[in-house]
Amino acid sequence: MSVLDIQNLTIALPPGAERARAASQVSFSVGKGEILCLVGESGSGKSVIAQSVMGLLPKNLPVTAGTISLLDENLTRANEARLRQLRTTRMSMVFQEPMTALNPVMTCGDQIDEVLRFHSAMSASERRKRILEIIAETALPDPERMVASYPHQLSGGQRQRIMIAMALVLDPALLIADEPTTALDVTTQSQILNLILELQKRHGTGVLFITHDFGVVAEIAHRVAVLRLGELVEIGTRDEVLKRPRHEYTKMLIASVPALKPVARVARPDTRVVLQTSKLAKTYVDRGWFGPRREVHAAEDVNLEVRRGQTLGIVGESGSGKSTVARCIVRLVDPSSGEIRIGGTEIATMGAAELRPLRRKVQIVFQDPYRSLNPRRTVGEAIMEGPLNYGVPRPEALERARKLLELVRMDASALTRFPHQFSGGQRQRICIARALAMEPELLVADEAVSALDVSVQAQVLELLEEIRTRLDLAMLFITHDLRVAAQICDQVAVMSKGRVVEYGPAEEIFLRPRHAYTRALFDAAPGRGFAFGST
């Protein structure tokens, strides 16, 4: 018997949206003890389907046809009171961002207790016993302390464990997990995935797991359903879908996932050194009027070297200091000590006026394409801004902008349009064009493809690679994604807790990692058993 059965589910979008329906004619079921992964790119409707099951759809997205049956009860006809009864008792949900999903002013214990108070007749002591039991089950250390902790006192992974404990405390038949590991680091992600697998097996829970990450799918799914623009294009067992995809779209998606195996590259040790850092360090000091002085060593003793035509990847988890290093090199933050040489010139301690002529040699592309462009300026103005700052005449700057748009494969008509008229991938191309307009020697890409969908990510990576060879640029590529690093980097520096723990040619590091942290990072990479990117 299936726990969740969705038949011909159709959900309308408000008039004026880019398509008529958020989901159309979607049918699938989740069996007892089964994990079904719902995969799709942003805007595919996967979260909307999850919300429709939980009865959490906003009013402007009505279910117009189809049925959602939870243990043979039709949820589309259930009223709000009934849905409230069913939530957490029969079905519950884990969200992407555990910091915002938990109430910051209630202790974790009180938040789980609230669920029990509303949905069970347990006495206070029984409830407390149950809370400690479920927290222990999620493998959190010291359950007594966890119960008394506020969300901000826990790490991201611990918060997500609390969310899972809260979702499973009443032993529901269905667990909906909406991108539960997307906000987490790769090592934490693998622990949370294991926890979900283990609890699901023990309780026989049916799981609807929503993700955009095929690596995660390979780790956790029994069956996979692929969504595209609200339509279900393919459904099958994990091996069927991942190894023998039938639909063109699925094939394209799977081929876009970068392989974990590094691409063979020709070493060119004789080219000119563009960037060299030695003993670079950044320490953040918190000097309160009262209370002790606190120091955070964001980066320490970082020695890197990038040559012309070469890509150096800095890989690490959040808080490892990789972005700090990038921002020091671009001089968006001032380094505390150490040297940064751009083409032989020391810039780490340079004053603003001295630095200004050298700024154009180093350009940066940021992670979030939606915030990297001023919403009130046209694309043309954005691309021309740099050259105009350095005295290039306007007609020449415009001509350069036009050529660069062509280089990043965009139409010249984009010049007079505003950023909101473009998709994330297109915006990232515009940002690349803006950086290239300065004719830099070093391009810093700070997680530049991390916010993009996998198919768009593949295109942007290809573009960066092409630009690097064509313009013979040096590139510093910051990423948390090992797959991306394997595809684009000649050299890789692995950072952990502000220090470079391993540094060398990409092939060397990927095939023969020496440092324990690097090995842990590779072991945690989801889906390493599958050969993605090769179909």
Partner 1 sequence: MILNNWSVRIGGSALIVLLLIALAAPWLGTVDPSLFDAGSRDLLPGKSGEISTLEGERLKHTFLMGSDSLGRDIYSRVLYGTRVSLLVGLLCALAALSVGILCGLLSGYLRWLDGILMRFMDGIMAIPAILVAISLVAIWRGSLTTVVVAIAIPEIPRVTRLVRSLVLSIREEPYVEAAISLGTPTWKILFGHILPNCVAPLIVQGTYICAFSILVEAILSFLGVGLPPEIPTWGSVMAEGRAQFNDYPHNIFFPGVFLAATVLAVNILGDGLRDTLDPKMAKKV
Contact 221, 209 (CB under 8 A): yes
Contact 467, 432 (CB under 8 A): yes
Query: Which residues, numbered 151-170, are part of the site for partner 1 (CB under 8 A)?
Result: none
Give the length of the chain. 535
Smallest distance from partner 1 to CB 24, Å? 29
* DSSP H or E stretch at residue 496: strand 491-496
State whether residue 7 is helix, strand or coil.
strand
Query: Which residues, numbered 384-413, are part of the site for partner 1 (CB under 8 A)?
Result: 385-386, 389-390
**Is 322 an interacting residue with respect to partner 1 (CB under 8 A)?**
no
Identity of the residue, 34 or 447, whose beta carbon is nearer to partner 1 in the bound complex: 447
Query: Which residues, numbered 332-351, are part of the site for partner 1 (CB under 8 A)?
Result: 332
**Is 363 an interacting residue with respect to partner 1 (CB under 8 A)?**
yes
Query: Which residues, numbered 430-459, are part of the site for partner 1 (CB under 8 A)?
Result: 431, 434-435, 438
Tokens 């768009």 identify what position? Answer: 456
Cα separation, 447 vs 483, in Å, equals 13
Q: Which residue from 367, 457, 496, 518 is in contact with partner 1, where contact means CB under 8 A? A: 367
Q: Which stretch binds partner 1 (CB under 8 A): 105-113, 218-226, 251-259, 428-436?
A: 428-436
Identity of the residue, 238 or 480, whose beta carbon is nearer to partner 1 in the bound complex: 480
**Is 360 an interacting residue with respect to partner 1 (CB under 8 A)?**
yes
**Is 54 an interacting residue with respect to partner 1 (CB under 8 A)?**
no
Cα separation, 468 vs 462, in Å, equals 10
Strands 206-211 and 294-307: unpaired
**Is 371 an interacting residue with respect to partner 1 (CB under 8 A)?**
yes
Q: Which stretch binds partner 1 (CB under 8 A): 296-304, 360-368, 408-416, 476-484?
A: 360-368
Identity of the residue, 127 or 359, whose beta carbon is nearer to partner 1 in the bound complex: 359
Identity of the residue, 435 or 488, whose beta carbon is nearer to partner 1 in the bound complex: 435
**Is 59 an interacting residue with respect to partner 1 (CB under 8 A)?**
no
Cα separation, 383 vs 15, in Å, equals 34
Identity of the residue, 227 or 383, whose beta carbon is nearer to partner 1 in the bound complex: 383
Identity of the residue, 36 or 61, whose beta carbon is nearer to partner 1 in the bound complex: 61
Considering CB under 8 A, how many residues would be counted as binding partner 1? 27
* CA separation, residue 264 to residues 33, 235, 367, 510, 527 (Å): 42, 35, 26, 11, 21
Smallest distance from partner 1 to CB 402, Å? 18
**Residue 26: both structure tokens together:** 């979607």
Smallest distance from partner 1 to CB 142, Å? 36
* CB contact set of 403 (below 8 Å; sequence gap of 6+): none
Q: Which stretch binds partner 1 (CB under 8 A): 107-115, 164-172, 297-305, 353-361?
A: 353-361
Cα separation, 278 vs 351, in Å, equals 19
Q: Which residue from 28, 209, 366, 510 is in contact with partner 1, where contact means CB under 8 A? A: 366
**Residue 479: both structure tokens together:** 């990423």
Phi-psi region of 322 (alpha: psi -120 to 50; beta: other; left: phi over 0): alpha
Smallest distance from partner 1 to CB 522, Å? 30
Q: Which residue from 59, 376, 470, 512 is in contact with partner 1, where contact means CB under 8 A? A: 376
Helix H, strand E, coil C: the string for 289-317 is: CCCCCEEEEEEEEEEEEEECCCEEEEECC
Among 196, 216, 211, 189, residue whose Cα is nearest residue 532: 216
**Is 17 an interacting residue with respect to partner 1 (CB under 8 A)?**
no
Contact 260, 528 (CB under 8 A): yes
Smallest distance from partner 1 to CB 366, Å? 4
State whether residue 473 is helix, strand or coil.
coil
Q: Which residue from 292, 351, 375, 395 is in contact with partner 1, where contact means CB under 8 A? A: 375
* CA separation, residue 356 to residues 272, 274, 331, 347, 352 (Å): 23, 18, 11, 10, 6
Identity of the residue, 408 or 525, whose beta carbon is nearer to partner 1 in the bound complex: 408
User: Which residues in this chain contact partner 1 in the complex, by CB under 8 A?
Assistant: 330-332, 356, 359-360, 362-364, 366-368, 371-377, 385-386, 389-390, 431, 434-435, 438
